[in-house]
């Protein structure tokens, strides 16, 4: 094996009779390097977007969310909240109540989701860090609420107008008399705007928890329990304990499960983009096939001599497979170096910017060590496939120099 590696190394860096072979070989190495860098950067950009959006959603979604398997509302009295708070690792607990509603503000109308929360909700989620204007006021005598940035835009809410209220209308639950009103109404003053960079911004309006109960003709009912965990808590253990306490009527979801659909779509987009880049790398690999084939043609006499000295066909194949491995390895190393340089430039200076209107100025980027493993395996597999035909051709070279 050491001899085969030594011969392959000499064939790669040794002097060749035709300079074109050297040029094609180095074009192959550069092509593999560019392909490797592209794969790393594609994965890193998707990682960056995933981390950015997940981080922003974490300011709205709790660590653990408890909802009903069937139905919408359940009384607080039917849940042993004391037992939940006693679970080791549970830091904060908040009840929330949400429902689809009709909103009106100074003639602008929109359908969205009203969510009743209290001050404990801010401790559970940290939504106050995502406020882009104003402040959150849920437990004051005056009725206040905060709107998602998209909902605020659709209703044309003016931050400077302190006298106009947002009106909320909710159809009455159950049948009423012919002269009774058809809906409940509630008004609040917008005290702030938040943005978490998702559909939440386009739909949600957050107000006082008790006000939503009254709007729905309920009293101390909730649609979900939102829980914050301690930093060192065992999520798996807490999920198991919660399910044991609450029973089969409730669904207990961790942060990933709350956004499972969104994260799955992001992963699908990520790997489709990766596969498209792999197809480009396969096209680049044709240069590697060409350079190895030309080396085989140039080294026919050497191969014949090696065979006459006792080298086997499998040994000859190994030499040229090793040569393809060396070219691919150099391409990987150079590609990783190029990818890391571009990564740090983007991270520090944001050389590729995002058009105006987005929450960030430049494409987010994040490198994960597993990406290097995935890209290395991908490039080496492509290099292996590109080396197969030239190595098989080399093995067929006759042991007789004159015949060749």
Domain of 274 in residue numbering reads as 2-57+262-395
The confidence score (pLDDT) of residue 205 equals 94
Q: Say whether both 253 and 285 belong to one domain.
A: no
Contact 53, 197 (CB under 8 A): yes
Among residues 214, 243, 258, which one ends one of the domains? 258
Confidence at residue 29, expressed as pLDDT on a 0 to 100 scale? 87
Name the residue among 366, 122, 88 with its Cα closest to residue 230.
Answer: 88
pTM: 0.72
Residue after which a domain boundary falls, among 242, 258, 274: 258
**Within-domain flag for 348:** yes
- Closest to 296 measured CA to CA, from 26, 33, 12, 23: 12
Q: Are residues 25 and 87 in the same domain?
A: no
Number of domains observed in the structure of the chain: 2
Instruction: List, for residues 161-179, the tens digit of each pLDDT value.
Output: 778 899 999 887 665 555 5
Q: Do both 36 and 77 map to the same domain?
A: no
Kindly state whether residue 43 falls inside one of the protein's structural domains. Answer: yes
Per-residue pLDDT of the chain (404 residues; tens, 9 = 90+): 677 777 776 777 766 666 677 777 888 888 889 999 999 999 999 998 888 777 777 778 888 999 988 888 888 888 888 899 899 999 999 999 999 999 999 989 999 999 999 878 888 988 888 888 888 887 667 789 999 999 999 999 987 777 889 999 988 766 555 555 678 899 999 999 998 877 888 999 999 999 999 998 888 899 999 999 998 888 889 999 999 998 888 999 988 888 777 778 888 888 998 999 898 888 888 888 888 888 888 777 877 877 777 777 888 888 888 888 888 899 999 999 999 999 999 988 888 877 765 666 778 889 899 999 999 999 999 988 988 888 888 878 776 655 44
CA distances from 124 to 230, 263, 284, 360, 394 (A): 11, 22, 51, 26, 67
- Whether the CB-CB separation of 117 and 209 falls below 8 Å is answered with yes
Q: Are residues 250 and 315 in the same domain?
A: no
pLDDT in the model for residue 378: 93
110/195 same-domain check: yes
pLDDT value for 186? 92
340's CB contacts (< 8 A; 6+ apart) are 367
User: Quick one: pLDDT at residue 404?
Assistant: 47
Same domain, 147 and 254: yes
Residue 403 lies inside a defined structural domain of this protein: no
Give the end of a domain, one of 220, 236, 258.
Answer: 258
Considering the domain architecture, whether residues 129 and 267 belong to the same structural domain is answered as no
Residues 130 and 224 reside in one and the same domain? yes
Of the candidates 298, 142, 307, which has an alpha carbon nearest to the alpha carbon of residue 208? 142
Q: Is 400 a member of any domain?
A: no
Please indicate, yes or no, if residue 402 is contained in any of the structural domains.
no
Residues 46 and 84 in one domain: no
401 falls within a domain: no
Q: Which of 54, 55, 46 is nearest to 367 (CA)?
A: 46
Residue 109 included in any domain: yes
Residue 362 burial (C-beta neighbours within 10 Å; 0-12, 13-18, 19+): middle
In terms of domains, do 37 and 82 share one? no
Question: In 3D, which of 13, 48, 27, 19 has the Cα closest to residue 334?
Answer: 27
Tokens of 194: 């938040």
Query: Residue 199's pLDDT is what?
Result: 80
Q: Is residue 404 part of a domain?
A: no
122 and 70 in one domain? yes
Q: Do 135 and 195 sit in the same domain of this protein?
A: yes
């Amino acid at each position: 094996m050491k001899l085969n590696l030594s011969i392959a190394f000499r064939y790669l860096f040794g002097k060749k009779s035709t300079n074109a072979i050297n040029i094609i070989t180095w074009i192959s190495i550069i092509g593999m390097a560019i392909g490797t860098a592209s794969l790393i950067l594609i994965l890193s950009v998707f990682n960056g977007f995933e981390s950015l959006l997940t981080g922003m959603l974490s300011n709205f979604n709790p660590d653990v969310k408890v909802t009903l398997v069937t139905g919408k509302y359940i009384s607080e009295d039917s849940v042993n909240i004391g037992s939940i708070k006693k679970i080791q690792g549970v830091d904060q607990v908040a009840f929330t109540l949400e429902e689809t509603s009709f909103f009106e503000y100074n003639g602008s109308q929109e359908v969205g989701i009203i969510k009743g929360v209290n001050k404990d909700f801010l401790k559970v989620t940290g939504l106050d860090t995502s406020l882009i204007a104003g402040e959150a006021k849920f437990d004051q005598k005056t009725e206040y609420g905060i709107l998602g940035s998209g909902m605020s835009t659709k209703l044309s809410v003016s931050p400077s107008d302190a006298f106009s209220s947002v009106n909320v209308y909710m159809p009455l639950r159950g049948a009423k008399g012919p002269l009774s009103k058809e809906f409940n109404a509630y008004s609040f003053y917008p005290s702030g705007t938040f943005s978490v960079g998702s559909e939440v911004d386009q739909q949600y309006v957050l107000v006082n928890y008790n006000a939503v109960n009254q709007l729905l003709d309920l009293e101390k009912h909730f649609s979900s329990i939102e829980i914050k965990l301690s930093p060192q808590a065992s999520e798996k253990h807490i999920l198991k304990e919660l399910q044991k306490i609450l029973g089969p009527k409730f669904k207990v979801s961790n942060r990933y499960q709350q956004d499972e659909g969104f994260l799955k779509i992001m992963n699908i987009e990520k790997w489709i983009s990766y596969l498209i880049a792999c197809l480009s790398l396969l096209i680049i690999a044709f240069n590697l096939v060409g350079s190895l084939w030309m080396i085989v043609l140039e080294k026919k006499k050497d191969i014949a001599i090696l065979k006459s000295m006792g080298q086997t066909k499998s040994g000859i194949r190994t030499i040229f497979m090793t040569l393809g491995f060396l070219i691919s390895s150099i391409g990987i190393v150079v590609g990783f170096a190029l990818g890391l340089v571009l990564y740090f430039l983007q991270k520090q200076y944001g050389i590729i910017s995002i058009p105006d209107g987005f929450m960030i100025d430049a494409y987010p980027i994040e490198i994960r060590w597993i990406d290097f493993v995935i890209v290395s395996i991908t490039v080496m597999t492509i290099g292996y496939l590109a080396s197969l035909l030239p190595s098989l051709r080399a093995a067929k070279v006759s042991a007789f120099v004159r015949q060749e």
